[in-house]
Amino acid sequence: MKKALCTLIFILLSLTAFSGFLDRIKSEIKWKEEEKPIFENVMVFNGKNMVQEKILPGNYEIYLFEVSYPTELYEKVRFLKSFSDFLEYTKKNNKKYSILLTKDFYDDVLELEKGDLIQSEYFLKEPASSLNYEQTERLKNLTKEIKVNEYKDTDQEKLNRQIFILYKILGKKGFIESNVYTELDKENLIEELNAERKKLVERSKDTPVEYFLKEDYKDIDLKDFSDEAKYKFEKDIILSTKIEDQALFPDVSLNVYITNFDPKVIEELAKKQIKLKRKILILDNELYHGYTYNEENTVIFTNGEKPLYYFPDYKIDIKVLRTDVSRLRNYDSKYKIGDFFY
């Protein structure tokens, strides 16, 4: 009798526990069904004005444009000019674009924001008398069109070559090889160039264009986590199995696009086992495509095999499109990533 009573109590407790488990599942399903996407409406340009458009369930493909940034000085100058013109075009025509910046491009933009020359132009700021052998040889390679025979192997030759490069960058005419240019002449040209570049900086902050920074994590060893400990690696990353801990990515104001990220960490992200401190994070990977939410953060997967959509009725994918800066305006981009994820 006592044994039967214990068995009955065990069965009742088990049923109660199972019932509670089912209730929790039903509650989560109901909460999930009631949760509404944050991207209900977006502003789009109808050809005349910006109007509000309701985002309906369906398939959406948003382009993230990756523009190749050159390495050679004069090509960089042409790129920056073309990019500035492109930004002016987007503002006048209310065109939306999501742009993926390389680290080199981003670093040069930071220099321009400080009112400085880009890094590959630093040797132009140096007094001609202070140029080392390597800088002098580079100067000659960039100014093969001129001889400067009158001042051969002197500081004046170096200075005139610096002046010539600045004339060329600014698109100015009237350079005379035999002139005795001064450091003050060079400073005035640099000020003129900085003023011209300031337009690019202002346009970059006052257009419908948004930016993402590309970071490669190929050589970063993201080890397994244990003992609820924090691990700190290069590029200022902190990852932890504790959900209250956060992963810190490069301290930049832009959203980040990561390549070659550890697949194990991506799996844990998809299962919400770790948290990443980055409002919008795009992960280039082979596992998933789609998006999910990680606490207050948005994680977007691109180029993966399996679909993963937090809201199954809204199948939103990001496609990276590599192109040249001069061809950007050939693409008509109705949406940008920030219309859906912010």
Domain ranges, ordered by start, for the chain: 50-64+208-340
Distance CA 97, CA 323 (A): 13
- Both tokens of 178, joined, read 């035999």
Interior angle at CA 210, CA 205 and CA 213, nearest 5: 105
Query: What SS3 class is residue 129?
Result: helix
φ/ψ (deg, to 5) at 91: -70, -45
pLDDT at 28: 43
Secondary structure of 153-194 as H, E, C letters: CCHHHHHHHHHHHHHHHHCCCCCCCCCCCCHHHHHHHHHHHH
Task: Please compute, for residue 263, the number of CA atoms within 13 A of its CA located in the half-sphere on the CB side.
Answer: 6
Q: Is 313 in contact with 57 (CB distance < 8 Å)?
A: yes
Question: Helices H, strands E: what count in the chain?
Answer: 9, 15
For residues 255 and 283, give the distance between their C-alpha atoms in angstroms, rounded to a whole number: 11
Interaxial angle between packed helices 103-113 and 183-204, expressed in degrees from 0 to 180 and rounded to the nearest 10: 110
Q: What pLDDT, on a 0 to 100 scale, did the predictor assign at position 14? A: 55
**Residue 229, pLDDT score:** 41
Question: Which residues, 6 or more positions from 205, have their beta carbon under 8 angstroms from its beta carbon?
Answer: none
Q: Which of 59, 50, 39, 89 is nearest to 338 (CA)?
A: 39
Entry field: residues in the chain: 342
Q: Say which residues have a Cβ less than 8 Å from residue 139's Cβ, sequence separation at least 6.
A: 123, 131, 158, 161, 162, 165
Q: What is the pLDDT of residue 230?
A: 41
In the prediction, which pLDDT does 254 show? Answer: 81
Q: What is the CA radius of gyration of the chain?
A: 28
pLDDT in tens, the chain (342 residues): 555 555 545 555 555 544 554 444 444 444 445 578 888 888 888 878 889 999 999 999 999 999 999 999 999 999 999 999 999 999 999 999 999 999 999 999 999 999 999 999 999 999 999 999 999 999 999 999 999 999 999 999 999 999 999 999 999 999 999 999 999 999 999 999 999 999 999 999 999 999 999 988 887 665 544 434 443 444 444 454 443 444 545 666 788 899 998 888 888 888 877 766 667 889 999 999 999 987 777 899 999 999 999 999 999 999 999 999 999 999 988 899 999 997
In the numeric block, which tokens belong to residue 201? Answer: 């900086």
What pLDDT shows up at residue 26? 44
**Phi, psi torsion values for 115, nearest 5 degrees:** 80, 25
CA distance 240 to 223: 10
Question: At 295, which helix (H) or strand (E)?
Answer: none
* pTM higher than the cut 0.85: no
Q: How many whole angstroms separate alpha carbon 119 and alpha carbon 115?
A: 12
Distances (CA, A) of 138 to 127, 159, 161, 165, 186: 15, 13, 10, 11, 18
Distance separating the N- and C-terminal Cα atoms of the chain: 64
Cβ-contact 340, 299 below 8 angstroms = no
The angle that helices 155-170 and 73-93 make with each other, rounded to 10 degrees, is 30
The predicted structure's pLDDT at residue 43? 86
Six token digits for residue 108:
């040069």
pLDDT of the residue at 77: 97
